[in-house]
């Protein structure tokens, strides 16, 4: 066992003494030491229920012959950090999470890890650590929050950002806003829409790093406790069979993940996170591959914020396994990929239900003929840009208007809320990239303010920042090179730029490119293509 280096031999008397000081016995020191990483805190609603899961995980570890050793990591709530100075920190916290887990696991020579997660940067940060360490590891999520009910319909937190725009536009009273606040987030769990949190929990399942049902059992249900206990038992099986993350996180596993991501219409942030996890696993994953796969995988689901369904609805019709089984019909899907069950991804889903036809549609009758995300590239974004194309209204596939340029998110939001943005405009927010932000802040506040003001079908937004998974509308982010790196986005001038979104402007298509054109023509116009 890896932990023998701190437990065995006369030179390790001091280490054994310190371990015994935590309550371990000589018999315990003969067993594997399993790190249980618990991102519980009392700030983040997605994590406030994780202590109960940690207890179940530890019971599972103990019942299978291991010694569970719990330690924490941080977990910022993106929703609380949104729209102010605090948003500089969430993306950077992903690296802190990965580094802190590495430090604890290496410093104490732990034999294996159970990673208890739930939200936006925590899930990818934990998978990055697992891939980097390459010791037996498994994830268990806290589960999605139930949708709230407002005026007889399901609702969620994304509607509150749009409501702020509606209040500013005089379309909603502050009293109604208060009622919506009370309804939108009814209890613990990852926000019930398909934002980054639930998208990445889905990615952990399709990548093979968590057990089936991990991404969809609601946080409230006892079934999730049983899954946590089984997760604790499974880490011991992974240790015994020497199954480590890099045996699971292959190039083929990432291709499967992108396919399922496109089918569910996941967050645009999955591009950032899957590429980072792949890097830690030693797998080369290029953003162009997202676009390539998007062209061959139809969108089978329509979750909030772009659609009407929530994660509880996916749970009720059979879980993510239904989507995976349907996507597995496509020739490119790799059925034999290993997972933490010790079986292939196909073995895990072969007995899943068939699509119900609405929450999950069939490949023959999709919501959209392509995947949820498109990669844009051209002389405005030489290194690429990302759009959640499935959340763009058809009215915006061809759009023309004047650019209004802002060098900070807050200034843009003020302009939107005070009626300075009108139908036909294209809002440009720059100097919000990884370096320029710093921290590549999410732009949910401006996109939601646009939607709440009723402008999402007449106003586009372009930024070198990024978007929340809750974003909808013609929102183009991740523009690279970013403004702080001298990217072309710095050439915008509010008084001079005329912007065009037009899929039929063939003269600006880059010769030989395999991604959708996204370009400036001359120095006075910008064009992008939606399929």
User: Which residues are tagged catalytic?
Assistant: 468
CA-atom Rg of the chain in angstroms: 23
Q: Is-contact 49 56, C-beta < 8 A?
A: no
Report d(CA 407, CA 432) in Å as an integer.
8
Report d(CA 108, CA 32) in Å as an integer.
12
Q: Is-contact 235 112, C-beta < 8 A?
A: yes
Report d(CA 276, CA 254) in Å as an integer.
11
Which pair of tokens denotes residue 227? Answer: 């899954």
Residue that the structure tokens 């100075």 belong to? 85
Give the per-residue SS3 of 165-198: HHHHCCCCCHHHHHHHHHHHCCCCCECCCCCHHH
H helix intervals, 333-469: 345-349, 409-417, 444-452
299 strand-pairing partners? 368
Q: Is-contact 472 306, C-beta < 8 A?
A: yes
Largest CA distance in the chain: 76
Q: Is-contact 458 362, C-beta < 8 A?
A: no
Angle between helices 50-63 and 222-240 (to 10 degrees): 40
H helix intervals, 319-473: 320-327, 345-349, 409-417, 444-452
């Amino acid at each position: 066992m890896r932990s023998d280096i701190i437990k065995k031999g006369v030179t390790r008397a001091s280490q054994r003494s310190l371990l015994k000081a935590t309550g371990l016995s000589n018999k315990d020191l003969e067993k594997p030491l399993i790190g249980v990483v618990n991102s519980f805190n009392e700030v983040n609603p997605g994590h406030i229920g994780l202590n109960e899961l940690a207890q179940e995980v530890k019971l599972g570890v103990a019942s299978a012959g291991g010694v569970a050793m719990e330690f924490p990591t941080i977990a910022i709530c993106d929703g609380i950090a949104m729209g102010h100075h605090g948003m500089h920190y969430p993306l950077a916290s992903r690296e802190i999470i990965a580094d802190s887990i590495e430090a604890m696991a290496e410093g104490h020579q732990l034999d294996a890890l159970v990673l208890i997660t739930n939200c936006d940067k925590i899930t990818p940060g934990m998978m990055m650590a697992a891939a980097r360490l390459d010791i037996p590891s498994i994830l268990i999520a806290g589960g999605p929050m139930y949708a709230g009910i407002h005026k007889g319909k399901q609702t969620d937190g994304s509607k509150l950002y749009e409501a702020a725009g509606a209040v500013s536009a005089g379309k909603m009273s502050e009293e109604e806003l208060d009622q919506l606040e009370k309804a939108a987030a009814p209890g613990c769990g990852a926000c019930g829409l398909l934002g980054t949190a639930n998208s990445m929990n889905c990615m952990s399942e399709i990548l093979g790093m968590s057990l089936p049902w991990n991404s969809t059992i609601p946080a409230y249900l006892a079934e999730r406790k049983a899954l946590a206990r089984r997760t604790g038992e499974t880490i011991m099986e992974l240790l015994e069979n020497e199954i480590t993350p890099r045996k699971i996180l292959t190039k083929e596993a990432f291709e499967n993940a992108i396919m399922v991501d496109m089918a569910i219409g996941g967050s645009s942030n999955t591009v950032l996170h899957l590429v980072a996890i792949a890097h830690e696993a030693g797998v080369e994953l290029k953003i162009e591959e997202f676009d390539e796969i998007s062209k061959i995988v139809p969108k089978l689901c329509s979750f909030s914020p772009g659609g009407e369904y929530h994660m509880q609805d996916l749970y009720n019709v059979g879980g993510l396994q239904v989507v995976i089984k349907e996507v597995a019909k496509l020739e490119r899907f790799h059925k034999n990929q290993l997972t933490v069950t010790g079986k292939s991804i196909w073995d895990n889903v072969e007995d899943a239900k068939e699509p119900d036809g609405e929450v999950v549609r069939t490949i023959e009758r999709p919501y959209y003929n392509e995947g949820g995300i498109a990669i844009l590239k051209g002389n405005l974004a030489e290194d690429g840009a990302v759009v959640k194309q499935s959340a763009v209204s058809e009215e915006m596939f061809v759009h023309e208007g004047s650019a209004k340029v802002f060098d900070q998110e807050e200034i843009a939001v003020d302009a939107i809320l005070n009626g300075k943005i009108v139908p036909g405009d294209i809002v440009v927010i720059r100097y919000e990239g990884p370096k320029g932000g710093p921290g590549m802040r999410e732009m949910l506040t401006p996109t939601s303010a646009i939607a709440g003001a009723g402008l999402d079908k007449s106003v586009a937004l372009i930024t070198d920042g990024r978007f929340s998974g809750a974003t909808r509308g013609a929102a183009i982010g991740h523009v690279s090179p970013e403004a702080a790196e001298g990217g072309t986005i710095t050439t915008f001038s509010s008084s001079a730029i005329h912007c065009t979104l037009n899929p039929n402007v063939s003269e600006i298509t880059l010769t030989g490119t395999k991604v959708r054109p996204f370009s400036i023509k001359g120095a006075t116009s910008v064009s992008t293509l939606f399929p």
